[in-house]
């Protein structure tokens, strides 16, 4: 049994299939979207050892010729150098425009594979097979592809939609607890910015989710993907509405950059960013202190950090100033309105707001 959603983008629409034990159905899913028969599976050593062989068997059984390209594991390898190594492997392997790529792994693998697909031979199709919770509910859906630069996260990339997203929640059983927690930060985000009922459901489902109850996982992933798909359908290239999906990310990206990519998991940094955004929202009267406390408590219950590391505020402001959401020198942030709604706000003088927000979080 599986759930299936559609990201409706005209001739670039694609399906998201979500279920337990559905990796074996990858061949049928690819056939349905007329995916090329020659494929390169891009993954990392950890995921290859767990699922690489199984995926290749399923692909071969469905008549696909697949080869594997293994890239290093970790956010610190989401670079132009790694991207170039993928290009080299594709060129040496004779992959042409009638070939396709499959991203098997987490967000790093998905982002860099998507960018490789967008740019190799000016664009070839790709499919996302995310194996981490964070990738399943966030980075695999929506077509954002990128690599990092030492001065900022995801500054070099393109919008390029996958042909299909294939989500098997059974892969989460091999995910380290820290990685699962990181993914839950993005799940909580959806409830805070878009769906109070979903937020309340997460509060009640915490124990089931933490013990990896499959039905609860499918429900959480399905609702997260549906919220994101609805937003992407209305604003594919982040000209307006889609920016709300960056809730918690502006400060979170600054945490990642200042700490050094890889020190914090992306979702851990986002959890800190969510708490900072909620505290700023409270300073501006957009939400109540008890709502900030509820958001913080839910994140803490999933073993996520909620206090910013002790870097100078000017360093945070400088890092946020390089964020993609800065427009004509003015910082644009996503702020929650209570729980279940949000708004985009321009902050011409962010220093006192962030000073107060960080102080409150550090004391709490």
96 is in an annotated binding site: no
Q: Rg of the Cα trace of the chain?
A: 20
166 is in an annotated binding site: no
Q: Is 279 within 8 Å of 292 (Cβ atoms)?
A: yes
Q: CA-to-CA distance for 134 and 91, rounded, in angstroms?
A: 31
Q: Does residue 326 have a pLDDT over 70?
A: no
Q: What is the CATH number of domain 2-174?
A: 3.40.50.1970
Nearest to residue 131, comparing CAs of 104, 163, 151, 101?
Answer: 104
pLDDT of residue 154: 87
Task: Give the rounded percent of residues in the chain with a pLDDT score beyond 90.
Answer: 88
Q: What is the mean pLDDT of residues 32-53?
A: 98
153 is in an annotated binding site: yes
Q: Does residue 124 have a pLDDT over 90?
A: yes
Q: CA-to-CA distance for 107 and 200, rounded, in angstroms?
A: 27
pLDDT digits (tens, 9 = 90+) for 219-275: 999 999 999 999 999 999 888 899 999 999 999 999 998 998 778 999 999 999 999
Q: What is the mean pLDDT of residues 140-149?
A: 94
- Residue 40: HSE in the Cβ half-sphere, 13 Å Cα cutoff: 28
In this prediction, residue 82 has a pLDDT band, given cuts at 50, 70 and 90, of very high
The angle subtended at Cα 49 by Cα 45 and Cα 52, nearest 5°, is 95
Known catalytic residues are 122, 144, 186, 228, 238, 242, 246, 249, 253, 266
Domain limits of the chain?
A: 2-174, 184-363
> What sign does the CA torsion over 288, 293, 299, 301 have?
negative
Q: What is the mean pLDDT of residues 79-85?
A: 97
Architecture of domain 184-363: Up-down Bundle (1.20)
Q: Does residue 325 have a pLDDT over 70?
A: no
> What sign does the CA torsion over 295, 195, 106, 184 have?
positive
Q: Does residue 110 have a pLDDT over 90?
A: yes
- Could you tell me the pTM of the whole model? 0.92
In the chain, DSSP assigns E strands to 2-7, 14-19, 38-43, 65-70, 99-105, 126-130, 144-149, 152-159, 164-168, 331-336, 342-347
Q: What is the mean pLDDT of residues 94-119?
A: 97
pLDDT of residue 240: 86
Q: Does residue 323 have a pLDDT over 80?
A: no
Tokens of 152: 């900022």
82 is in an annotated binding site: no
263 is in an annotated binding site: no
């Amino acid at each position: 049994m599986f759930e299936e959603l559609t990201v409706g983008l005209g001739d670039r629409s694609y399906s998201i299939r979500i279920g337990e034990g559905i990796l074996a159905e990858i061949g049928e899913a690819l056939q349905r979207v007329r995916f090329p028969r020659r494929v390169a599976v891009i993954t990392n050593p950890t995921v290859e050892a767990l699922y690489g062989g199984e995926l290749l068997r399923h692909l071969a059984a469905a008549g696909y010729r697949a080869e594997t390209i293994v890239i290093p594991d970790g956010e610190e390898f989401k670079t132009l150098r790694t991207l170039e190594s993928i290009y080299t492997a594709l060129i040496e392997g004779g992959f042409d425009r009638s070939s396709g790529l499959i991203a098997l792994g987490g967000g790093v693998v998905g982002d860099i594979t998507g960018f490789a697909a967008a740019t190799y031979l000016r664009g070839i199709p790709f499919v996302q097979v995310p194996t981490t919770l964070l990738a399943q509910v966030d980075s695999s859906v929506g077509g954002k592809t990128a690599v990092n630069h030492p001065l900022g996260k995801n500054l070099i990339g393109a919008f390029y939609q996958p042909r299909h997203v294939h989500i098997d929640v059974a892969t989460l059983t091999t995910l380290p607890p820290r990685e699962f927690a990181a993914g839950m930060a993005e799940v909580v985000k959806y409830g805070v910015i878009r769906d109070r009922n979903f937020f309340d459901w997460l509060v009640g489902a915490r124990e089931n989710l933490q013990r990896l109850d499959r039905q609860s996982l499918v429900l959480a992933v399905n609702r997260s993907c549906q919220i994101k798909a609805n937003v992407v359908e209305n604003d594919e290239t982040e000209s307006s509405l889609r920016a709300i999906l960056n809730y918690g990310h502006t400060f979170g990206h600054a945490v990642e950059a200042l700490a050094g990519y890889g020190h914090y998991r992306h979702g851990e940094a986002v959890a800190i960013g969510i708490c900072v955004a909620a505290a700023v929202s409270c300073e501006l009267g957009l939400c109540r202190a008890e709502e900030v406390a509820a958001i913080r408590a839910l994140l803490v219950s999933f073993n996520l950090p909620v206090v910013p590391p002790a870097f100078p505020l000017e360093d945070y402001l400088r890092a946020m100033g390089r964020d993609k959401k800065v427009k004509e020198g003015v910082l644009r942030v996503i702020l929650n309105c209570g729980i279940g709604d949000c708004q985009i706000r321009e902050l011409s003088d962010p220093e006192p707001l962030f000073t107060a927000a960080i102080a409150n979080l550090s004391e709490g």
